[in-house]
Amino acid sequence: MSSKSCALITGASSGIGLELAKIHAQQGGDLVLVARSEKKLQQLKRQLEKQHSVLVTVIVEDLSQAGAAGRVFAQTQSMGLVVDMLINNAGFGGHGLFHTRDVHAEESMMQVNMAALTSLTHLYLQGMVERKRGRILNVSSTASFLPGPLQAVYYATKAYVTSFSQAIAEEVAAHNITVTALCPGPVKTGFVAAANLEGVAVFDQSKSAESVAECGYKAMVRGDLVVFNETKLKLLLNWVVPFLPRKLVLKVSRKTMEKS
């Protein structure tokens, strides 16, 4: 896959998405940036076009709204843009006991983390299959490998993303298309504040968004299936957690999400 390819990135106005946009622009690739904040997207567009002489298209859309994925696709189609790399990065979480949380917030989370990701993948994958080339990067989480008391819905949405990504990867492998699930541990982004996770000790060891984006981008280019940004987490989740009693895993998982 040439670095000159056009990449569509959701959640591109901050965090991992913003860093992925910078990396792709540094490689000389054009971009379609999708997020809710037009001001941040336009600022990033000006910066990347000036520094790297690439074409950056901005699409302002709230992926928690029904039909958002279709509207994004329709805009790129109307502009004649060929998306060779789809990076589904948009997502958010939320802390607290499930029965006390706002169910509408949980539904919005499911819409962004799963439904919009699925719709965008379906829409852009068809063109990739026709062209016999494409790369998809779905930003998941190490949370996808175990249940998450106090973040029950978030962990479940990420389990969907990791499972879905691997299944689709197998389906389209014969078409010269790869699908990569990026499963980082805690990351230093606005996610912590947005998800009400201040005081959760595990986030004290967060890695930078830049390092996670670099890990994910390289894995996407290589066509890796599932990638972790931390070797110790990869070993723990693949070779330790599956052999522990389920109730113990739940207790440990909850402990990591409790606030000090």
The set of catalytic residues is 154, 158
Tokens of 88: 């589904």
How would you label 102-133 residue by residue, b for 16+ Cβ within 10 Å and e otherwise?
eeeebebbbbbbbbbbbbbbebbbebbbeeeb
Query: Using an 8 Å Cβ cutoff, are 224 and 205 in contact?
Result: no
User: Nearest CA to 140 among 35, 45, 220, 55?
Assistant: 220
Backbone angles phi, psi at 223, to 5 degrees: 85, 25
Backbone angles phi, psi at 233, to 5 degrees: -70, -35
Block residue for tokens 């950056």:
56
Q: How far apart are CA 128 and CA 122, in angstroms?
A: 10
Q: How far apart are CA 85 and CA 124, in angstroms?
A: 9
User: Nearest CA to 25 among 5, 54, 47?
Assistant: 54
SS (H, E, C) 146-187: CCCCCCHHHHHHHHHHHHHHHHHHHHHHHHCEEEEEEECCCE
| Residue 195 CB neighbours (<10 A) | 18
